[in-house]
Amino acid sequence: MAEENTNKETQDLEVQEVAGIANDSQPEAETQHTNPEKFLEEFNWHNYEEGIDPIDDKKLEEFEKLVEENFVDTLDDEVVTGKVINITDRDAIIDINAKSEGVISLNEFRYNPDLKEGDDVEVLIDVREDATGQLILSHRKARVIKAWERVNKAHDESLVVNGFIKCRTKGGMIVDVFGIEAFLPGSQIDVKPIRDYDAYVGKNMEFKVVKINHEFKNVVVSHKALIEADIEEQKKEIIGQLEKGQVLEGTVKNITSYGVFVDLGGVDGLVHITDLSWSRINHPNEIVELDQKLNVVILDFDESKSRIQLGLKQLSQHPWDALDENLKVGDNVKGKVVVIADYGAFIEVAEGVEGLIHVSEMSWSTHLRSAQDFVNVGDEVEAQILTLDREDRKMSLGIKQLSQDPWTDITSKYPVGSRHKGIVRNFTNFGVFVELEEGIDGLIYISDLSWTKKIKHPSEFTNVGDELEVVVLELDVEGRKLSLGHKQIEDNPWDKYEKDYGVGTKHTAEITEIVDKGATIDFNEDITAFIPQRHLEKEDGSKLKKGEEAEFQIIEFNKEFKRVVASHMVIHKEEEQKIVKQAAKKSASQNKDNATTIGDVNADLQALKDKMEGKE
């Protein structure tokens, strides 16, 4: 320390000499008294005005150079380089060519356990002097400032930087680059998908700075960007040699639900799930696994060859070519249900060979249902070959052919007039379809549902799934048609009603409803009779009203159309006619016995008329 103080005193003297501070003013005073003119002529007006003597430019430059070489401006925030001159238990003493040495805590050098005396370090003057006059420096702040300078330079000039992968984080990794924590996205670690991120923690790798957010002080780096350039060159070379039908070796890079991506050495191709196997599969992982090496054939690619379609199954013989040559239409085969659709089910009868069982070939029933009502995926079924086209590689199968056609002995099982029970399967506007057994359906026309009810739609009478008792009315074997009836299971009540409510019969009833052209009366739950407007007239000329009870006579009865018409008016009109006939008969008798005069007869008729008009 004593040696350093001596050096500084020497430096101060040199500065004073250069500045011209050490000069003798006595000769100047003597000239002032002996020769005033000369004194005024040589008077130093600059010193008088500025307070100092002018300094020669050359000496001034020498002074500035000396200061620059020997002193550090401790008021500047710039990063400077210092030398470690001593290391204590807690601090490192740094010389930065200032009036005193600086102190930095060893905690700031934890990243560098090999720090030793004589090492050059970058520092920032944190506090010029503390209470004890000690210069306080910061290595950590200097590292940050320098790190950002280096990061910006690496980004602007696309330089390769080294970084240390510290840990995992959401979506990627945290990398130490020049002391700054940068983000490495998972997609930027490598050109192929990464499955084990932890394998990279603790490794030093090269990176490229791809993005800097100065506002939030965020840095994004990429390792993938370094190798993509090399891969692009490889891609161009490989793509230029691609041809359809070419067989290449590749590595399974990624597996999705729709296919497999294969790395062909820098170029990716897709093997669609349908090109993995001749057999149907639910997911590609049933055939391949990640990192598996396999041979694939090029099926197609676009003009730029950036989308390459690959195939795996095409490297093996087509299963249809290996199908038994003796197999023919009419043979029975066994297979497994692999796919079910509404219209049918696909059966794999051999590996890669499928046949379709249409839903209409699953049952003798004429009512088409979903294939799921008969089979499930994975079921082992037996079927008969209905069609076989080896050229187009198509096959149709049938299940119902393995059982007897129920219409074969239909006449013996369902003769006309026989009674049976069936299930309502479907409605139409004109009737109900009833299934007597699998494959045997019959139609009940709406008019054959009830003897008495007027039904507009079958749903008013029954529901799908209900059990109905029926009678076979007609049987058409060739047309496979069966006509059924439900009302025929009982006697027709209108046969009895025809006798009880025949034309001319009289009944007492109450007016139920007044309608547009008359009124209605209910004789029982089956018979509702209609009374025309004029037939509502009472004997006194007034009309019957709703709720009035009166005697009625049936004037029309139609059993087929269940139409009944009644009249109240004919009751008293009939009585009038009877009276007229009796009067005429009496008058004729009197004429014969007493030779009644014409005047007497007229008198009797007038009396009858007065009675009918209510004058008596």
Residue at token pair 């995992």: 168
DSSP run (H or E) holding 275: none
Residues 85 and 114 in one domain: yes
User: Average pLDDT per run of 10 along the chain, which is 616 residues long?
Assistant: 42 43 47 61 60 60 57 57 86 79 81 82 72 70 79 84 87 85 85 77 87 83 79 71 84 90 84 88 88 89 77 86 84 89 88 87 75 85 90 88 82 86 88 86 87 83 89 85 86 77 86 89 85 87 87 85 86 68 60 54 60 51
Is the residue at 351 inside a domain? Answer: yes
Residues 305 and 353 in one domain: no
CA distance 433 to 367: 9
- Cα 17 off chain centre by: 89
Q: Angle between the 598-612 and 569-594 helix axes, to the nearest 10 degrees? A: 160
Residue at token pair 């006579």: 553
Is the residue at 503 inside a domain? Answer: yes
CA distance 269 to 261: 6
Boundaries of domain holding 283: 242-311
Is the residue at 346 inside a domain? Answer: yes
Is 228 in a helix, a strand, or coil?
helix
CA distance 115 to 130: 25
Q: Do residues 163 and 175 make contact, with C-beta atoms less than 8 angstroms apart? A: yes
Residues 514 and 475 in one domain: no
Q: Do residues 164 and 176 make contact, with C-beta atoms less than 8 angstroms apart? A: yes
289: Cβ contacts below 8 Å, ≥ 6 apart: 252, 255
CA distance 342 to 279: 21
Residues 164 and 135 in one domain: no
Residues 497 and 569 in one domain: yes
Residue 545's CB: how many other CB atoms inside 10 A?
Answer: 11
* Burial degree of 577 (CB within 10 A; 0-12, 13-18, 19+): exposed
Residues 479 and 456 in one domain: yes
Is the residue at 3 inside a domain? Answer: no
Q: What's the alpha-carbon Rg for the chain, to the nearest Å?
A: 60
Q: Do residues 149 and 142 make contact, with C-beta atoms less than 8 angstroms apart? A: no
Is the residue at 259 inside a domain? Answer: yes
Q: What angle do CA 215, 219, 225 make, to 5 degrees?
A: 140
What pLDDT, on a 0 to 100 scale, did the predictor assign at position 55?
59
Task: Please report, for the domain that includes residue 203, its CATH number.
Answer: 2.40.50.140
pTM of the model: 0.41
What pLDDT, on a 0 to 100 scale, did the predictor assign at position 609?
58
What pLDDT, on a 0 to 100 scale, did the predictor assign at position 13?
43
Residue 204 tokens read as 């030093």
What pLDDT, on a 0 to 100 scale, did the predictor assign at position 259?
92
Residue 119 tokens read as 């090492």
What pLDDT, on a 0 to 100 scale, did the predictor assign at position 5?
43
CA distance 239 to 266: 10
Alpha helices in 449-503 (DSSP H): 493-500
What pLDDT, on a 0 to 100 scale, did the predictor assign at position 12?
46
Residues 140 and 175 in one domain: no
Is the residue at 324 inside a domain? Answer: no
Is the residue at 612 inside a domain? Answer: no
Q: Do residues 82 and 94 make contact, with C-beta atoms less than 8 angstroms apart? A: yes
* CA distance to 299, 435, 461, 526, 607, per residue, from 444 (Å): 60, 11, 12, 21, 64
Is the residue at 258 inside a domain? Answer: yes
What pLDDT, on a 0 to 100 scale, did the predictor assign at position 261?
92
Alpha helices in 168-296 (DSSP H): 224-239
**Which residues on adjacent β-strands are paired with residue 441?**
435
Dihedral sign for Cα 361, 365, 369, 372, please. Answer: negative
CA distance 50 to 29: 20
Residue type for position 475? L
Residues 475 and 500 in one domain: no
Residues 508 and 578 in one domain: yes
Is 212 in a helix, a strand, or coil?
strand
Number of domains in the chain: 6
Nearest to 311 by CA among 275, 279, 340: 275
- Cα 514 off chain centre by: 61
Q: Do residues 493 and 525 make contact, with C-beta atoms less than 8 angstroms apart? A: no
* CA distance to 19, 27, 29, 31, 339, per residue, from 22 (Å): 8, 14, 17, 20, 110
